[in-house]
Amino acid sequence: MGCSMKATKGWGIGMAVLDILHGLLTLGFYGYQFMVNYFYICSNDLDIDLCYGERYVYSQRYALRTYIGLGEGGLTPIFDIILIVSLVKNNPCSVWFWLIKCFGIIGINIYFVSDWMIRENHFEHINYAPGKYEYHFLVAGIALTLIQVALLILFCIIAAIFTYKVAEERTRARRSLRSLHSVRSNKFRNASAPSIDGFDEDNVSYRNHALADSTNKLPLPGSNGSLDKTSHSETLRQPTEV
């Protein structure tokens, strides 16, 4: 891989920041729709039936998506913060955890966009004036889905390189530890186990010296002392007087 670990982390953090902006955009759009719907008051020139019809269609088609969108926008920065921390801490498992949020958002958007398009003509029997918010919801759903798909492709490239780099560094560290342990073990064995030849030579010289010393010094009978070989021979050679 041509990218360094530092560059890979930088790209990952940059992508997380873009996704945070994506989450804030989602939160802002659905928060605005929620406030407009919550404080909506029909204008005086609008027929009451049209007003209730519009409120009914909104509650059937867009209210649930608005609530889910608020949760979606609020959770996105949390997942991105986890992603940034995982990149800094070199934790590939937590990095891939981001995919749960990504696939969830894509699935929700695809479901609701498909639902809106399928049920487009199912409310013709209701007397209501179609509002611009229907078009806004459709465009926002498609745009947010495309943005998330682009971030998903970028994330998969970055996460794959990051995982490879972390695995490579861990493998290199394990090899270094094994080689260091092997070197220390060899040094310890060499220092604690002297050569057999040297040990035998020391023993032989020690025994020869002890044997020579024992033959030069013989004990006197009836005493604890000892005489050397010369004095003992002179004692034995003294003439006896009659």
Q: What is the pLDDT of residue 38?
A: 83
For residue 149, being part of any structural domain is answered with yes
Render each residue's pLDDT in the chain as its tens digit; 242 residues: 457 888 889 999 999 999 999 999 999 999 999 998 888 777 766 677 777 888 888 888 899 999 999 999 999 999 999 999 999 998 888 899 999 999 999 999 999 999 888 887 777 777 777 778 888 999 999 999 999 999 999 999 999 999 998 888 878 777 777 776 666 666 666 655 555 454 445 554 555 555 555 555 545 455 455 444 444 455 445 554 43
For residue 224, being part of any structural domain is answered with no
The DSSP result for 3-41, as a single string, is: S-HHHHHHHHHHHHHHHHHHHHHHHHHHHHHHHHHHT--
For residue 93, being part of any structural domain is answered with yes
Q: What is the pLDDT of residue 144?
A: 92
The DSSP result for 102-168, as a single string, is: HHHHHHHHHHHHHHHHHTTTTTTTS-----HHHHHHHHHHHHHHHHHHHHHHHHHHHHHHHHHHHHH
For residue 172, being part of any structural domain is answered with yes
Phi-psi region for residue 90, left (φ > 0), alpha (ψ -120 to 50) or beta? Answer: left
Q: What is the pLDDT of residue 1?
A: 45
For residue 213, being part of any structural domain is answered with no
Enclosing domain of residue 51: 5-188
* CA–CA dist 118, 2 (Å, integer): 47
For residue 205, being part of any structural domain is answered with no
Number of independent structural domains in the chain? 1
Q: What is the pLDDT of residue 198?
A: 47
For residue 201, being part of any structural domain is answered with no
For residue 124, being part of any structural domain is answered with yes
- Stated pTM of the model: 0.67
Q: With contact defined as beta carbons under 8 Å apart, do 161 and 1 qualify?
A: yes
Q: What is the pLDDT of residue 181?
A: 64
